[in-house]
Amino acid sequence: MSTLLEVQGVSVTFDGFKAINNLSFTIGLPELRAVIGPNGAGKTTFMDIVTGKTRPDAGTVRWGEMGHSLLSMSEARIAREGIGRKFQRPTVFEDQTVRENLRVSLKKPRGPFSAMFDRVTPEDTARIEEIAAEIGLSDHLNRKAGILSHGQKQWLEIGMLLAQDPRLLLVDEPAAGMTTEERNHTADLLKRLAKNHAVVVVEHDMEFVRRLDCRVTVLHEGSVLAEGSLEHVMGDERVIEVYLGR
């Protein structure tokens, strides 16, 4: 396992409020990591920093074998480097069909002229159908994403992430709005992905985290409070205090 992403000493302040405070975080390839923490701990903001949406006031974010800094790259460039993201609130293109949503996500050249002359190859179709089967949307390929249920939109966004085939997947609260069965399926899917990807999963649901069966990082007030197995961090007094003391 080699280091893929290394975040070091990162801080972000919003209007005087320190959302991220001297945060350090490392993930290798392949690896599965769960990030937990109370509301407002800075989990989403952490993902915003890695994906270039929010620029930190201090710290470094290094990427890949060469340790390139992500801080000077645009969001689109970072995505092309191989970092994919599923948002906390499902964000899909509601006005477009499930098939179109998956098609724009497929790992292909991103320039405007490639897009103009892009043809759906048999391999593309096969991949789209394979993903649709995986996310349980095979029967919905030609329906607008806007009419899907909340859970189905979550699935579609996971499907878009699969289509992108990034090296690092940042998955923000994937299980929200899903049935127990769907949650289990999601957890198994993420575990399978983590065999050859780096996957960071933010989740509140402890059952889900337990099922992931991986290293856990606890965030609190913008810094890492504890890290280790789920049993280990749940036994940590400070973690107990943060979770119960609210």
Ligand X SMILES: Nc1ncnc2c1ncn2[C@@H]1O[C@H](COP(=O)(O)OP(=O)(O)OP(=O)(O)O)[C@@H](O)[C@H]1O
Residues at the interface with ligand X (CB under 6 A): 14, 19, 37, 39-45, 88
Distance CA 118, CA 81 (A): 21
Residue 94 interacts with other proteins (CB under 8 A)? yes
Residue 45 interacts with Mg ion (CB under 5 A)? no
Residue 104 interacts with other proteins (CB under 8 A)? yes
Contacts to other proteins from residues 110-139, by CB under 8 A:
110-112, 115-116, 118
| Residue 86 Cβ vs Mg ion, minimum distance, rounded to whole Å | 12
| Beta carbon nearer to other proteins, 4 or 160 | 160
Partner that binds at residue 116, options Mg ion, ligand X, other proteins, none, CB closer than 5 to 8 Å by kind: other proteins
| Beta carbon nearer to ligand X, 19 or 169 | 19
Residue 85 interacts with other proteins (CB under 8 A)? yes
| Residue 37 Cβ vs ligand X, minimum distance, rounded to whole Å | 6
Of the residues 44, 105, 186, 223, which one makes contact with other proteins according to CB under 8 A: 105
Distance CA 158, CA 96 (A): 16
| Beta carbon nearer to other proteins, 26 or 96 | 96
Are the beta carbons of 199 and 190 closer than 8 angstroms?
A: yes
Q: For residue 187, give the 3-state DSSP assignment.
A: helix
Q: DSSP 3-state helix, strand, coil percentages of the chain (rounded to 5)?
A: 40, 30, 35
Distance CA 100, CA 27 (A): 32
Contacts to other proteins from residues 142-181, by CB under 8 A:
160, 164
Query: Which residue number is nearest to Mg ion in terms of Cβ?
Result: 44
Distance CA 90, CA 176 (A): 10
Binding string, 69-108, against Mg ion, x = CB under 5 A? -------------------x--------------------
Q: How far is CA 166 from the centre of its chain?
A: 10
| Beta carbon nearer to ligand X, 44 or 51 | 44
Token pair of 134 as six digits:
């995986």
* Neighbouring C-beta atoms of residue 148, cutoff 10 Å: 20
Distant-in-sequence, close-in-space partners of 88: CB < 8 Å, separation ≥ 6? 44, 172, 173, 176, 202
Residue from 50, 58, 105 nearest 75 by CA: 50
Distance CA 47, CA 79 (A): 12
Residue 84 interacts with other proteins (CB under 8 A)? yes
Distance CA 104, CA 232 (A): 41
Under the rule (CB under 5 A), what is the footprint of Mg ion? 43-44, 88
Under the rule (CB under 8 A), what is the footprint of other proteins? 51, 53, 74-77, 79-80, 84-85, 87, 91-96, 100, 103-105, 110-112, 115-116, 118, 160, 164
